[in-house]
């Protein structure tokens, strides 16, 4: 095989598929619940569509995912082999939270941050009915500055354009600030108190916001000294 290592060691054999560029991030998105091509792409925005298709084909050949098609649309779901990768990805993420390099400017993608955040809301603590949270990144380019998170019925959706509903809570901050809060590198409450995150809206929603946002699954892992 062209991508083989010439070894029968299980680590080498697994790496033939899993160590390809973008592959761990694609599996991460599948583990997070993405089933559609467009959903996976939003979680891995840097990959070209043609390469993503190739990577998904490779995962299917390896028995890691099943692909089904209905009404002309494909869905991707983890197989038993794919499900066994969940603790592997969790361990890699935990190691990265503790030991990997610090966040660089080139890592600060506001769209990806909002996409990651929308999966990690404590929807049980949110008001009944519809809640619209507008996030403004003051330091982002104009075309990537405004995002909307719309919660209704236990589901949080991401909107890149005004959703047509009045904003209930406005969150204004810088990309790095919210990224560091999301990663657990700085406390949310102190960022709010210090003015690095400014909340505008009814007082009850401003007080409740820290309880809505669950942060990254790795936020409770302390960085190594």
The pLDDT tens digits along the chain (225 residues) read 567 899 999 999 999 999 999 999 999 999 999 999 999 999 999 999 999 999 999 999 999 999 999 888 999 999 999 999 999 999 999 999 999 999 999 999 999 999 999 999 999 999 999 999 999 999 999 999 999 999 999 999 999 999 999 999 999 999 999 999 999 999 999 999 999 999 999 999 999 999 999 999 999 999 998
Strand partners, 169: 133
Structural domains of the chain sorted by starting position, each given as residue range(s) with its CATH number in brackets: 10-99 (1.10.10.10), 105-212 (3.30.1050.10)
Structure pTM?
A: 0.93
Q: β-strand 65-70 against 130-137: which pairing, if any?
A: unpaired
Q: Is 3 helix (H, G, I), strand (E, B) or coil?
A: coil
Q: Which value, to the nearest 10 degrees, does the dihedral of the CA atoms of residues 104, 35, 33, 153 take?
A: 110
């Amino acid at each position: 095989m062209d991508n083989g290592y010439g070894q029968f060691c299980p680590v080498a054999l697994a790496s033939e598929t899993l160590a390809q560029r973008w592959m761990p991030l694609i599996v991460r998105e599948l583990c997070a619940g993405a089933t559609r091509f467009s959903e996976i792409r939003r979680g891995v925005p840097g990959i070209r569509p043609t390469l993503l298709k190739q990577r998904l084909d490779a995962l299917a050949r390896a028995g890691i995912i099943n692909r089904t098609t209905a009404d002309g649309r494909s869905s991707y779901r983890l197989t038993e082999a794919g499900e066994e990768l969940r603790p592997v990805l969790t361990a890699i993420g935990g190691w990265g939270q503790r030991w990997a390099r610090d966040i660089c400017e080139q890592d600060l993608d506001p769209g990806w941050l909002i996409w990651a955040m929308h999966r990690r809301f404590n929807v049980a603590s949110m008001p009944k009915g519809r809640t619209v949270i507008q996030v403004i990144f003051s330091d982002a380019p104009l075309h990537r500055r405004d995002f909307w998170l719309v919660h209704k019925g236990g589901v949080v959706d991401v909107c890149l354009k005004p959703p047509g509903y009045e904003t209930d809570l406005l969150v204004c901050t810088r990309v790095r600030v919210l990224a560091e809060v999301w990663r657990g590198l700085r406390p949310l409450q102190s960022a709010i108190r210090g003015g690095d995150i400014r909340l505008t809206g009814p007082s009850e929603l401003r007080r409740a916001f820290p309880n809505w946002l669950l942060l990254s699954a790795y936020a409770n892992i302390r960085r190594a000294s």
